[in-house]
Amino acid sequence: MKLHELTPIDFMIWRVGHHHHQLVSSRLENLGLYRGQPRLLASLYEQDGQTHGELASQLNVQPATITKMVQRMEQKGFIIRRADLKDQRISRVFLTPKGTEIHNQVIQMFVQVQADQVEGFSEEEKASLMLLLRRLNENIEKHLPNHCS
């Protein structure tokens, strides 16, 4: 017997996640972005002018990861770095008009991805799916090693 026959729910969760990742990645690539970069855009959209350290903390990634992301996104014209007005040693990251536009396109892309995922579902089926996914997530969270009651 194969593993996916023993654990059909786990297999289907993995499969949906895998296909979702492929779909989102391909659509982001069409916009000139990689996974992770939309979160950086969103963070700057909410609070422009953050430092590399603030972005790393906000996105829960290593500062070196932010540095690489910022370099790539700056080359594409989505963001710009400027020295802090009070401390020239500190670099702040700002969205450019092109970055704001791509952020808006990312939002629309995710709206479309969600619509595509539930294509043909009734409103009742969508509500049931959300309820079941929330319950599934709560059950999984209960069994995580660092779960706090």
CA–CA separation, 131 vs 140, rounded Å?
Answer: 14
- The CATH number assigned to the domain holding 71 equals 1.10.10.10
Q: pTM of the prediction?
A: 0.82
44: containing domain: 35-117
Whether 62 is in a domain gets the answer yes
CA–CA separation, 25 vs 19, rounded Å?
Answer: 10
Whether 52 is in a domain gets the answer yes
Whether 28 is in a domain gets the answer no
Whether 147 is in a domain gets the answer no
| Segment 102-146, tens digit of pLDDT | 999 999 999 999 999 999 999 999 999 999 999 999 999 999 998
Whether 83 is in a domain gets the answer yes
Whether 79 is in a domain gets the answer yes
Please compute Rg for the chain using Cα positions.
19
Among 146, 123, 127, smallest CA distance to 135 is for 127
| Segment 38-97, tens digit of pLDDT | 999 999 999 999 999 999 999 999 999 999 999 999 999 999 999 988 888 889 999 999
Q: Which helix (H) or strand (E) holds 115?
A: helix 97-117
Alpha-carbon distances of 61 from 28, 65, 85, rounded to whole Å: 20, 6, 26
Query: What total number of domains does the chain contain?
Result: 1
